[in-house]
């Protein structure tokens, strides 16, 4: 499948590196609404314009589009847009990732180098998982998650939709329930359940405020 990456930030550019390691997909380049990036080349792939080109690319026969961004609302909006335009949404998984054979993974996943995902894990669509992440056994993660590098998700956690974990988060093993639209700041350590819409910081993690919920998930 030929596809375009939406977002030429750090993670988006890493997709170009992953593409050099596998042959099942063909990336034609990046779209990014930052005009200063237009024409730049990352990993031999050019930034060919902004997201206003999506419709013409689809009409021209391009089959796939993959949003790769950290902003949760923007991710949700762009995944909906590419679906509405009829694009397929590929997954890009670096060959160094270790996935147990029974892992269930939704469409549109981007999983970075050296990540390990153990048995009995279900991850919903549109997951973006950073470098060196460890996801233990029997874990459920909802739609539209971003998990930063070197995060540890302990066994049996249940995590809702629109979940963001910064770099180096540690969710202790046990039946922890983390609600929808939760933001875990970098380095947070989680020992207890976290309610919907919470922003959490520290060790042990504490709720420092609540954010406005995103609208219904995709």
- The three state secondary structure string of 8-52 is CCHHHHHHHHHHCCCCCCEEEEEECCCHHHCCCEECCEEECCCHH
Tell me the fold of 2-84.
Answer: Rossmann fold (3.40.50)
The structural domains of the chain, with segments of one domain joined by +, span: 2-84, 93-210
pLDDT number for residue 23: 67
Residues placed in the known binding site: 70
β 41-42/45-46 pair status: antiparallel
* pLDDT tens-place string over residues 63-106: 999 999 888 888 888 999 999 999 999 999 999 999 999 999 99
Residues placed in the known binding site for substrate: 70
H-type alpha helices, the chain: 10-19, 54-59, 72-84
β 170-171/189-190 pair status: parallel
For the entire predicted model, the pTM comes to 0.89
Please give the positions annotated as active site: 137
Which distant-in-sequence residues (6+ apart) come within 8 Å of 176 by Cβ?
Answer: 154, 156, 157, 158, 190, 191, 192, 193, 194
* pLDDT tens-place string over residues 22-71: 767 889 999 999 999 999 998 888 999 999 999 999 999 999 999 998 88
Query: Tokens at residue 107, please?
Result: 């469409």
Same fold, 2-84 and 93-210: no
CATH number of 93-210: 2.160.10.10
């Amino acid at each position: 499948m030929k596809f375009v990456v939406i977002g030429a930030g750090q993670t988006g550019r890493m997709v170009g590196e992953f593409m050099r390691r596998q042959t099942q997909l063909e990336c034609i380049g990046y779209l990014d609404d930052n005009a200063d990036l237009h024409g730049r080349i990352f990993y031999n792939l050019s930034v060919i314009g902004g997201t206003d080109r999506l419709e013409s690319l689809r009409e021209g026969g391009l089959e796939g589009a993959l949003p790769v961004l950290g902003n949760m609302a923007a991710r949700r909006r762009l995944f909906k847009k590419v679906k509405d335009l009829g694009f397929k949404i590929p997954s890009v998984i670096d060959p160094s990732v270790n996935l147990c054979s029974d892992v269930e993974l939704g469409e549109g996943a981007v999983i970075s180098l050296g990540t390990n995902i153990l048995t009995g894990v279900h991850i919903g669509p549109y997951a973006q998982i950073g470098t060196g992440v460890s996801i233990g056994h029997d874990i459920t993660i909802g739609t539209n998650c971003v998990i930063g590098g070197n995060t540890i998700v302990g066994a049996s956690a249940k995590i809702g939709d629109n979940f963001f974990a910064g770099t180096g988060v540690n969710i202790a093993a046990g039946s922890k329930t983390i609600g929808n639209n939760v933001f875990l700041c970098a380095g947070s350590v989680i020992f207890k359940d976290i309610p919907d819409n919470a922003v959490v910081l520290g060790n042990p993690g504490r709720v420092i405020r609540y954010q406005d919920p995103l609208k219904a998930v995709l």
